[in-house]
Chain A
Amino acid sequence: MKELLEYLARALVDKPDAVRVEVIESEKSLILQLHVDPEDVGKVIGKQGRIAKALRTVVKASAAKEGLKAIVEIVD
């Protein structure tokens, strides 16, 4: 999940080196905190949150396939 989110975020931002994903694990869910450069926040959120919503949907589907719940948080 971590690699997937990192891959997607790096392909969307101007400063891929600043992309970092922290994983907080609990019993049955994963919280994925996506850190990007402050100037890139808009790129991973998109107009009306379109990109952020798509990132969440794709990561959730991928996690669900492995029986996990995943929550994506965007942090700058």
Chain B
Amino acid sequence: MSKATETEAETTEEAIGAALEELGAERDQVEVEILEEPNKGLLGLRKARARVRVTVLDGEDVAKTAVEGLLAKMGVDGTVTTHRDGDELWLTIGGDSLAWLIGHHGYTLDALQVLVQAMVSRQIKSPARLVLDIEDYRARRKREIKSLAERTIGTVLARNEAISMRPMNAYERKIVHLVVGEYEGVASISTGVDPNRFVIITPA
């Protein structure tokens, strides 16, 4: 969950500075809420100090807000749920008739992911690797590619010859390399130029 603190000082800026010090955060990594403006008071009496609440932005919250804002601007009625899978932060959009948002071979979904990642990395230093999904499109693709890689490895081992797979994007190729890494006696290498870059699985 998000780290937060409340501080007070003579001026708002001093209070924010003290909070950042305490949280060990930078100014652009936090959200500041001004609880009380400094007030000189009548004739210098009842002098109120500045009080602020500073919250460290959480990657998950920032990413979710970015996706929700984007969906609203696109007129999409959808929900966003998040979960972590290893070092990946998955953001899944749920809703009806969202195929157009995935696009041919997932091109539109890939573009949305590039933009969300760029938006989030402006606010969060070294954010988690974001994976944007719609319904279970990517999750299903990931399972399909894993099982395709396993079948191909089986064939490579049985015939003792290299097999080229169909062109895949960087994320899909990474899945294949990870699966190959779990097996003895096979190796994998990527070759070709995007969007026609593909993996070759060879006997090791």
Contacts and interface: CB of A to CB of B under 8 A. Distances in A.
B66 A50 contact: no
Interface residues of A, number: 18
Interface in A50-73: 50-51, 53-55, 57-58, 61-62, 64-65
Main secondary structure of the interface of A (DSSP, over half): helix
B197 to A, nearest CB: 14
Contacts of A51: 114-115, 118
A43 B101 CA distance: 24
A51 to B, nearest CB: 6
A42 to B, nearest CB: 12
A16 B115 CA distance: 16
Contacts of A53: 111, 114
A65 B100 contact: yes
A36 B115 CA distance: 17
A64 to B, nearest CB: 7
Given A46-B118, A54-B115, A62-B74, 13 more contacts: A4-B73, A8-B73, A11-B69, A11-B119, A46-B114, A50-B114, A53-B114, A54-B110, A54-B114, A57-B107, A57-B110, A58-B112, A65-B100
Interface of B: 66, 69-70, 73-75, 100-101, 103, 107-108, 110-112, 114-115, 118-119, 122
Interface of A: 3-4, 7-8, 11-12, 46, 50-51, 53-55, 57-58, 61-62, 64-65
